[in-house]
Amino acid sequence: MSDNTNTLFNGKEVWWSDPENKTSGAYKVLEIKRNPDDPDEGLYDDTIVLISNGVSEAEVEAWELQDLGLRRKRIEEFVNRITAIAEDDDWSVHNHSENYDKVDLYLSKYSNADQDFGFYVECETGDADEFINAVEGYYNSYDPYEEAALWIDPDGHGKNGAPDDLKDLIADMEECKGNVKGLIDLLRQELKGIKIVKQTYHSQYSERVYNIRTEVIESIFYTIKDICEQTQTCSILWDDITGHENPDICYEKDSGPSSVLPDTIGLTDDDKGFYITFASYCDAPSSNDGENIYTETLIDILEYLENYRSTL
């Protein structure tokens, strides 16, 4: 609360974030422990303040406290912004923190198979990076196959209104995960000004291309996984994959297409995706699951990977 330290007074409502994350919440200032030798001295960031939530008390330094009213106003504005962005993409948003003490939202969206898919997002503050990271965390942990398994009856068909055919059921779960990725892209664009490479809405033609891209990305992942299992590694050198040809590939940057040289291809730490790193001189961040790489280029990469696997 360094910007507002001098606004503290006995009885003021503040927010304290407990470092142990056990008793974070709204408090009232009971006492500001000023220098007894100079009671009129101003407040400093390290001034000790006694606070209470009606159940327990704590002595904290002034910088640890936030003005409760300002905090709630900031979070309310952030929640309203998130709601507007999500609703424009056909998501429904339910706020579970009526006082706006924190960001606590449930986001839901119907799939084409009429699944009412949804998930919760909780954040301590109204910070864009924190919120996007929380949604990304859910996206990375969501496994369409594990989710589909919860909706399969003993005969191997969908139950409780889920698609009867197992293939359709898995496709429905993959669509839901794709919807979350679309929301992440939209949040990045609206909150961070980051360009969306892949279209959020597709024409009939581009929808077919998108489906092909999804299939290629999935094939790349399983091919990499197979290679890593056979070689007992978690990454492969592009030099080995291409038989020392080392061709450049086309990479999408904000400034437009760029020719870059891959360095390594491997599995992510959670073993649920893949990444491609590039030579240091290329000035290109790693590509996760094919992001910023054109579909035709991904098809070429898949062909190199399959040819390399056939030599093992």
Mean pLDDT of 305-309: 95
Mean pLDDT of 78-95: 94
Is the pLDDT score of 116 beyond 50?
A: yes
Amino acid (1-letter code) at residue 222: Y
Mean pLDDT of 272-287: 90
Which residues have a Cβ under 8 Å from the Cβ of 298 and sit 6 or more positions away? 213, 216, 217, 220, 290
Which pLDDT belongs to residue 1? Answer: 42
Which pLDDT belongs to residue 5? Answer: 53
Mean pLDDT of 105-111: 95
Which pLDDT belongs to residue 199? Answer: 45
Is the pLDDT score of 272 beyond 60?
A: yes
Residue 72 burial by Cβ neighbours in a 10 Å radius (0-12, 13-18, 19+):
buried
Is the pLDDT score of 182 beyond 70?
A: yes
Mean pLDDT of 27-56: 84
Separation CA 27–CA 210 (nearest Å): 51
Which pLDDT belongs to residue 195? Answer: 52
- Give the burial string for 285-297 (b: 16+ CB within 10 Å, else e): eebebbbbbbbeb
Q: Is the pTM of this model over 0.75?
A: no
Which pLDDT belongs to residue 46? Answer: 86
User: Dihedral sign, CA of 147, 152, 156, 162?
Assistant: negative
Is the pLDDT score of 201 beyond 70?
A: no
DSSP codes, 57-121: EEEEEGGGEEEHHHHHHHHHHHHHHHHHHHHHTT-EEEES-TT-SSEEEEEEEE-TT--EEEEEE
Which pLDDT belongs to residue 166? Answer: 80
Contact of 185 with 138, CB cutoff 8 Å: no
Mean pLDDT of 2-7: 55
Contact of 265 with 241, CB cutoff 8 Å: yes
